[in-house]
Amino acid sequence: DLKAFERRLTEYIACLQPATGRWRMILIVVSVYTATGAWNWLIDPETQKVSFFTSLWNHPFFTISCITLIGLFFAGIHKRVVAPSIIAARCRTVLAEYNMSCDDTGKLILKPRPHVQ
């Protein structure tokens, strides 16, 4: 039973890795776009002279990338990026009751039994 559980857990975590990698790349790209747009928005001398909404209107690259980043966080990208580690941590919590643990790939770690005297 332990081997079947370990096989299924490693299979499930391995299945999540490609999607997690794609979500990480999306988050990195949108974050870099937002940072670049923010830099251009901040160094523009017109930004200080006009209202906030006018300055956002004058910098559509920053506005769109910022809205996209906020939308991704509302959609739960922060959970999708770390999904395999969340699953491994929850399994560790349950397995601790049985004197076991698991690594980040899902391999089971058997701990020695405590001696009761």
DSSP 8-state secondary structure symbol assigned to residue 113: P
pLDDT digits (tens, 9 = 90+) for 58-68: 999 999 999 99
Count of other CB atoms within 10 angstroms of residue 116: 4
Which amino acid appears at position 15 of this protein? C
Q: Sketch the domain layout of the chain as residue ranges.
A: 1-110
What integer pLDDT is reported at residue 2 of this predicted model?
Answer: 86
pLDDT at site 112: 83
Q: What is the DSSP letter of 115?
A: P
Tokens representing 36? 């670049």
Sign of dihedral through CA atoms 11, 12, 17, 22?
positive
Contact 24, 77 (CB under 8 A): no
Q: pLDDT tens per residue, the chain (117 residues)? A: 889 999 999 999 999 889 999 999 999 999 999 999 999 999 999 988 999 999 999 999 999 999 999 999 999 998 999 999 999 999 999 998 888 999 988 899 888 877 766
pTM: 0.77
Alpha helices in 1-117 (DSSP H): 2-43, 52-58, 60-74, 77-81, 83-95
pLDDT given at position 117: 67
CB 111 within 8 A of CB 99: yes
